[in-house]
Homo-oligomer: A and B are copies of this chain.
Amino acid sequence: MHPDRLFPADPGVRGIARRLYEAVRYAPIVSPHGHVDPRMLAEDTPFPHATALFVQPDHYVTRILHSAGIGLAELGVGAPPLPGDRARHAWRLLCSHWHLFRGTPVRYWLESELADVFDVRERPSAATADALYDTIGAQLTQPSHRPRALLERFGIEFLATTDDPADALEHHAALAGLGTRVVPTFRPDRYLEPAQPGWRDAVERLGVAADADVGSYKGYVAALEARRQTFLEHGAVSADHSHADAIAEPLDDTEAERLYADALAGTLRPEGATAFRRHMMFEMARMSCDDGLVLTLHPGIRRNHHPGTLAAFGPDSGHDIPTAVEFTRALQPLLARFGTHPNLHLVLFTVDATVFSREIAPLAGFYPSVYAGVPWWFLDNPGAIRSFQESVTEIAGFTRLSGFIDDTRAFCSIPARHDMARRLDAAHLAGLVAAHRLDEEEAADTLRALVVDQPRKVFKL
């Protein structure tokens, strides 16, 4: 990996970027949102092979292979770690299709991971696949490459996982004494959508977990509040939400109770389910004001676009597709009520880049509760990040940003992703210095704030 990768081409600007980057290169990693499996860390079992680490859990990787006609079954998507031969075969598929990833951040992360975690500098290809597989496999059997050893080596100060409100959180409890603070995130989507299959069963499990009677709307709300408390006791700092839209619109209690009763009875119509969900988003903001959990929001995804793939491989298998998003009108009732509440931190994420300058930056540039979530998922790439930097910071400044969020399912990519973000932030700030809009000293201070202070402040660490 070239030491100047991702820096601007102009030698003068590159020099500034290099200096800025060096000062934060080894700063601790704060990761307030992602999808690392807490059980993996709690049990600290060695990873079985390169495929279980780099291919199977990472829909960033498998969706691109699928687009080239490779079946997800061959790649072990949605399955437990593949047995030996099939794992090696899947790895060969990745390596022999390496050219598919040219120009994508996935390739950039994978190369960084191979180099930094496994000291592998050869390019993956059909010819090198087996040797790489064996090299990585050998290292994975060593204590140095077990999950907790990597967690420490990566310099991760804080790591939030994403968890079901009914989860027992026993893995987080087991991780309590670790050097890295590993905490759960309250992700209640399924409990707020009566139209989803399995809602009633889920709510019953929630009642059991909370030891509450969910037979009434009041009991259901109490159960959610109780589980949030349990999450808080386990160190949780945020609640995370993703629905079809961002609308948060309160109903009066009688109406909410009526819709809840209909939902339990199985007689709630789709419009009612939508109204109930939007009411509950408003309620979640109210709860955040009460208990202090940061509220993160990332609407506008058509989940499981391809039914055949969902049926065979389950959700999160690479075919969630973005749609247009709207925040200005959707959040108006919520912000009218809670927008200046000192306890509310509302972080807005999007995979629709059009709302960066149109809605997110203007909202974050007025409401003290609103923060602009950095580009993630489809937008976690140099081009989109540059466009985010050039639009959001011009309107809202640097102090209204969330700080970098890796949102990863690929454990080993965490340092590579944060490193990429630091390089791109250094590059952007170097551009402002070169254009004589900031002193280099200010740029250095801003970069440090983005990397360390801002996520700590926004996520109340």
Interface positions of A (Cβ within 8 A of B): 1-2, 4-13, 63-64, 66-69, 99-105, 107-108, 302, 305-308, 318-319, 321-324, 326, 328-329, 332, 335-336, 339-340, 342, 351-354, 357-359, 361-368, 370, 378-379, 381-384, 386-387, 389-391, 393-400, 431-432, 434-438, 442, 445-446
Contact = CB atoms under 8 A, between A and B. Distances in A.
B358 A354 contact: yes
Nearest to A111: B437
A353 to B, nearest CB: 6
Contacts of A12: 9, 11
B306 A340 contact: yes
9 contacts: A5-B437, A66-B366, A67-B396, A67-B399, A102-B397, A102-B438, A104-B395, A104-B396, A302-B329
B104 A4 contact: no
A393 B445 CA distance: 33
A72 to B, nearest CB: 10
Contact of A381 (B342, B383, B395): B395
B9 A431 contact: yes
Given A306-B367, A383-B391, A108 B321 contact: no
B64 A397 contact: yes
A396 to B, nearest CB: 7
Contact of A63 (B326, B354, B365, B431): B365
Contacts of A323: 326, 328-329, 358-359
A306 B366 contact: yes
B306 A103 contact: no
A455 to B, nearest CB: 17
Contact of A308 (B329, B340, B445): B340
Contacts of A365: 63-64, 67
Given A9-B10, A358-B351, A321 B363 contact: yes
Contacts of A398: 102-103
A438 B335 contact: no
Contact of A332 (B302, B342, B357, B391): B302
A366 to B, nearest CB: 5
A159 to B, nearest CB: 26
B366 A394 contact: no
A382 B394 contact: yes
Contact of A305 (B328, B386, B391, B431): B328
Contacts of A400: 67
A384 B101 CA distance: 23
A64 B436 contact: no
A237 B306 CA distance: 27
B63 A305 contact: no
Nearest to A351: B358
Contacts of A445: 99
A425 to B, nearest CB: 11
Given A319-B366, A365-B67, A384 B357 contact: yes
